[in-house]
Amino acid sequence: MADLLEPVMKKKVIVTGGTGYIGSHTAVELIASGFEVVIIDNLCNSDVTVLDGIRAITGIKPVFYDYDLCDMAKLEEVFAAEGKIDAIIHFAAFKAVGESVRKPLDYYRNNLGSLINLLAVMDKHGTTSLVFSSSCTVYGQPDTLPVTESSPVREAASPYGYTKQAGEVIIRDTMAARADQKAISLRYFNPIGAHPTAHIGELPRGVPENLVPFITQTAIGLRDELKVFGNDYDTPDGSCIRDYLHVVDLARAHVTALKRLLEGRNRSNFEVFNLGTGTGVSVLEAIASFERATGIKLNYSITSRRPGDIEKIWADPSLANRELNWKTEITLDESMETAWRWEKKIRNKS
């Protein structure tokens, strides 16, 4: 009887990088699923107003620490202030491929230093579960498609890519040494789109490097034209192929992965899942989807290949479908439409 009268304690989750693109959408889904969210983000590539967007959607503004995870003393402060932390979802990282080639030590220091600090602090304070933000970049150009989790990890094409590979190895080895802790690494394919409410979305600083923000910024008139990087690849229309999934679908996968860990349904203490739709889409097909979804004719031209680009990659998501009971639900056209809605919202256009 006493048990029934006790308040149901919400599970408390630290979301690092929680004001970022994928982090903010995941914070929303976590709150909607009844988790208490604590965000740590040093705002190096995001804006504090994202917290208002999260509140507009969920009615809750998460507790927020404007701290750098490389600063162990600050991290200790969070754990001292927050008490028991049940789990961590670790998004915070530098993610620009080209910049990482120019500044490798910044990437190694930031992306790996923050992860090592988190692993140390979770051990000290009895946090048992970790979800890690990884990338399909770990596969390089795979020999066979679609890519399964057992496809070989290829030598990284950039320091950024290597921080994802090394991050996974660091977590795997750390979990192997700790009986009471467990982690899931989620290898994202290409997240796109924005929350359907247009309260949160992608906020690239400067000229976007990724395809969809470049498309929407071109459509809104911020850029003259989209340059399609190559039409002479060995693909049906000659442009590169990727697996684009909606960011809300991706965010939901984090909630299911977290629940799997917290409910002890994991099969080992380090698991890896591909997160994608399972369908490859070319750059030209992505443009056609945007045009179809919005009714806007996009100004684009073909230019030379971008150095370091992978020709084609798409996921075999069947392991995540089966084990996480997760699959993508939002179509490519819907994803483009939400990206466009968000672009219009942030430029004050209707």
Q: Could you tell me if 211 and 202 are in contact, meaning their C-beta atoms sit under 8 angstroms apart?
A: no
The minimum distance between CB 207 and ligand UD1, in angstroms, equals 9
Binding flags for ligand UD1, 177-206, as an x/- string (CB under 6 A): -------------x----------------
CA-to-CA distance for 289 and 212, rounded, in angstroms?
A: 11
- Applying CB under 6 A, the span of 29-37, 110-118, 119-127, 226-234 interacting with ligand UD1 comes to 226-234
Q: For residue 269, state whether it binds ligand UD1 (rule: CB under 6 A).
A: no
Q: What are phi and psi of 102, to 5 degrees?
A: -80, -30
Beta strand pairing call for 182-188 and 270-275? parallel
Determine which helix (DSSP H) or strand (DSSP E) holds 5, and give its type and residue range: helix 2-5
- The interface with ligand UD1 within residues 131-170 (CB under 6 A) comprises 135, 137, 161
Among 183, 203, 255, 283, binds ligand UD1 (CB under 6 A): 283
Structure-block tokens of residue 27: 């914070």
CA-to-CA distance for 221 and 75, rounded, in angstroms?
A: 42
Among 306, 327, 344, 345, binds ligand UD1 (CB under 6 A): 306
Distance set, CA 58 to CA 85, 230, 269, 324, 346 (Å): 21, 42, 32, 24, 20
- Give SS3 for 182: strand
User: Which of the following is catalytic: 21, 107, 139, 160?
Assistant: 160
Decide whether 84 or 102 has the Cβ nearer to ligand UD1.
Answer: 102
The minimum distance between CB 229 and ligand UD1, in angstroms, equals 4
Q: For residue 82, state whether it binds ligand UD1 (rule: CB under 6 A).
A: no
Decide whether 122 or 320 has the Cβ nearer to ligand UD1.
Answer: 320
Decide whether 6 or 155 has the Cβ nearer to ligand UD1.
Answer: 155
Instruction: Give the side-chain half-sphere CA count within 13 A for 199.
Output: 17
Among 67, 214, 273, 290, binds ligand UD1 (CB under 6 A): 214
Among 43, 56, 97, 170, binds ligand UD1 (CB under 6 A): 97
Applying CB under 6 A, what is the total number of residues that bind ligand UD1? 21
- Applying CB under 6 A, the span of 124-132, 178-186, 304-312, 339-347 interacting with ligand UD1 comes to 304-312
Decide whether 66 or 106 has the Cβ nearer to ligand UD1.
Answer: 106
CA-to-CA distance for 256 and 249, rounded, in angstroms?
A: 11
All residues at 6 or more sequence positions from 85 whose CB lies less than 8 Å from its CB, including other chains: 12, 13, 14, 38, 79, 122, 125, 127
Q: What are phi and psi of 301, to 5 degrees?
A: -140, 165
Bridge partners of 335, per DSSP, are: none
The DSSP annotation for 214-258 comes to HHHHHHHTSSS-EEEE-S-SSSTTSS-EE-EEEHHHHHHHHHHHH
Among 47, 76, 309, 334, binds ligand UD1 (CB under 6 A): 309
Q: For residue 228, state whether it binds ligand UD1 (rule: CB under 6 A).
A: yes
CA-to-CA distance for 47 and 63, rounded, in angstroms?
A: 15
Among 90, 182, 242, 341, binds ligand UD1 (CB under 6 A): 242
Among 148, 210, 266, 279, binds ligand UD1 (CB under 6 A): 210
**Active-site residue flag, 67:** no
Decide whether 30 or 339 has the Cβ nearer to ligand UD1.
Answer: 339
All residues at 6 or more sequence positions from 27 whose CB lies less than 8 Å from its CB, including other chains: 15, 18, 37, 39, 54, 62
Residues annotated as part of the active site? 160
Site residues for ligand UD1 per CB under 6 A: 95, 97, 135, 137, 161, 190, 209-211, 214, 226-229, 240, 242, 283, 306, 308-310
